[in-house]
Structure 1
C-alpha cells in the first residue's frame, strides 16, 4: 500500500502540505479542476520525491449521456485531462462515469405509478451504463497509449453510476481499465467494501479513504479498521480529506504507523 493525500487547490497550500507530509506520504493527487494552476507546484513536489495521481474533472460531465453532443463534450474534456496528466508525469488518472438525467419519482405507496417509473429508470440506467462502457473503452485505450493507468470510481448517489459492485463489474470487460474503491461513497450507498474487492479482484488498484455519517459526503478521516484490509495490497491509498488542516493527515499517518501498517515518518516539517 502506497499512501497519498489530497492537497489544497492553490499552489502555496499545495506545497505547504507537500513539505509538511514529506516522508510520511508517497504521492499527491492533483485535482483536474485546478491542474493548470498547479502544474509547476506538482513538478516541485515530484522533485521532492512524491509520485502524482490525477483526479479527472467530473462536474457537469456525462460520458454516458443519451445526448450525443453532451457525451462528446464530456469525452473531449476527459481526453484533455488524460493528456494533461501525462504531461504532468502522473502515474494514474481516476475518473467518474457521471449520472442519469432523471430519477424523480414518488416513493412506494404514494403513487400507483411508482413501479412503472422505477422500471423506466432501470431501463435508462442500463442504457447509460452501455454508453459509459463504450466511452471508457476509448478512454482506457488512450490512457494506455499515454503510459497512464485509468481507474473508474464507485459513486454514492442513487442517480450516479456505477454505484454497486455489480455495476462496477460490468466494466471488467473494458481492456486496460482498472478501478478505484471510494470507501465513503460505498458507505453512503450501503455497500460493503469487501463486495467490491471480491467483484473486482486485482484490478481494484486505487482507494479513496474517508468516512461519513451514511447520508452526506463529509470526508471525515478514515478509521484504522477501514484501512487494514488494504495494508498488504499493491494499491495506492489516497486519504481524501478537505483542506481543514495538515494535522488530520499527520494523525492518520501516525495511527497507521503505530499499528505497523506503514513505515514511521522519515522527515518533513511538522
Structure 2
C-alpha cells in the first residue's frame, strides 16, 4: 500500500500541506477541476519526492448519458483530463461514470405503481451501464496510449453507477480498465469492501479511504481497521478528507503507524 492525500485547491495551501506531510505520505491526488491552477505546485511537489495521481472532473459529467450531445461533451472533458494527467506525469486517472436520469418513484406500499416504476428504473440502469461500458472502453484505449491507467470508482447513491460489486465486475470485460474502491461510498451502498476485493481481484489498484455514518458522504477520517485489508496490497490509497486542517492527515498517519500499517516514512523529501 502506498499512502497519499487529497490536497486543498489553493496553490499556497497545497504546498503547505505537501511540506507538512512530506516523509509520511507518498503521493498526492490532483483534482481535475483545479488542474490548471495547481499544475505549477504539482510539479513542485514532484520535485519534493511526491508521486501524483489525478481525479477527473465529475460535476455535470455524464459519460453514460442517453443524450448523445451530453455523452460526447462528457467524453471530451474526460479526454482533456487524461491529457492533463499525462502532462503532469500522473500514474492514473480516477473517473466517475455518473448516474441514470430518473429515480422519482414512490416507496413500496405507497403506490400500486411502485413495481412498474422500479422495472423502468432497472431498464434505464441496464441501458446506462451498456453506454458506460462503451465510453470507458474508448477512454481506456486513450489512457493506454498516454501511458496512464484509467481507474473507475464505485459511487454511493441509488441513482449512480456502478454502485455494487456486481456492477463494477461488469467492467472487467474492458482489459485495460482498472478500479478504485471508495470505502465511504461502499459503506453508503451497504456493500462490504471484501465483496469488491473478491469481485475485482488484482484489477482493484486504487482506494479512497474515508468513512461516514452510512447515510451521508461526510468524508471523515478512516480508522486503521478500515485501511488494514489494503496494507499489504500493491495499491495506491488516498486518505480523502476535505481541506479542513492538515493536522487531520497527520493524525490519520499516526493512527496507521501505531497500528503497524505504514512505515515511519513512505515518501516525499525532508519536511
| Fold in common (TM above 0.5) | yes
Give the secondary structure class of the aligned counterpart of 2:108: coil
Q: Residues 103-114 of structure 1 correspond to what in structure 2 (within 5 A)? A: 103-114=103-114
For residue 265 of structure 1, report the CA deviation from its aligned partner.
Answer: 3.8
User: Are 1:24 and 2:24 counterparts?
Assistant: yes
User: Is the partner of 1:211 in helix, strand or coil?
Assistant: coil
List structure 1 runs of 4+ shifted beyond 4 angstroms.
Answer: 266-269
Q: Distance in 2 between matches of 1:252 and 1:261?
A: 11
CA distance in 2, matches of 1:154, 1:138: 19
> In structure 1, what is the equivalent of residue 148 of structure 2?
148
Deviation at 1:268, TM superposition (A): 5.0
Structure 1 Cα separation of the partners of residues 156 and 227 of structure 2: 19
Contact 2:224 2:261 in 1 (8 A): no
In structure 1, the partner of 2:165 is 165
Structure 1 counterpart SS, 2:260:
coil
Give distance in 2, aligned partners of 1:174 and 1:265.
36
Partner of 1:132: 132
- 1:67-78 pair list within 5 angstroms: 67-78=67-78
Instruction: Confirm or deny: 8 A CA contact 2:187 2:211 kept in the other structure.
Output: yes
The answer as to whether partners of 2:3 and 2:26 remain within 8 angstroms in 1 is yes
Deviations 1:6-55 (A, max 9, x none): 00001001100000000000000000000000000000000000000000
Preserved CA contact (<8 Å) 1:21 1:268 = no
Contact 1:186 1:193 survives alignment (8 Å): yes
1-structure distance, mates of 2:92, 2:24: 20
TM-score w.r.t. the length of structure 1 is 0.98
Structure 1: segments with no counterpart, 5+ residues: none
Following superposition of structure 1 onto structure 2, how do residues 82-93 of structure 1 map, counting pairs within 5 Å? 82-93=82-93
> Structure 2: any 5+ residue segments left out of the alignment?
none
Kindly indicate whether the alpha-carbon contact (under 8 Å) linking 1:184 and 1:212 is maintained by their aligned counterparts in 2. Answer: yes
Any conservation in 2 of the 1:92–1:151 contact (CA below 8 Å)?
yes
Alignment pair present for 1:191 and 2:191: yes
Whether the aligned pair in 2 keeps the contact of 1:184 and 1:219 (CA below 8 Å) is yes
Q: Distance in 1 between matches of 2:100 and 2:41?
A: 36
| Cα deviations by residue, 1:126-176 (Å, 9 ceiling, x for unpaired) | 000000000000101100110001100000000000000000000000121
- The alpha carbon displacement at 1:258 in A equals 1.5
1:256 Cα deviation from its structure 2 partner = 1.2
RMSD (Å) for aligned C-alpha atoms: 0.9
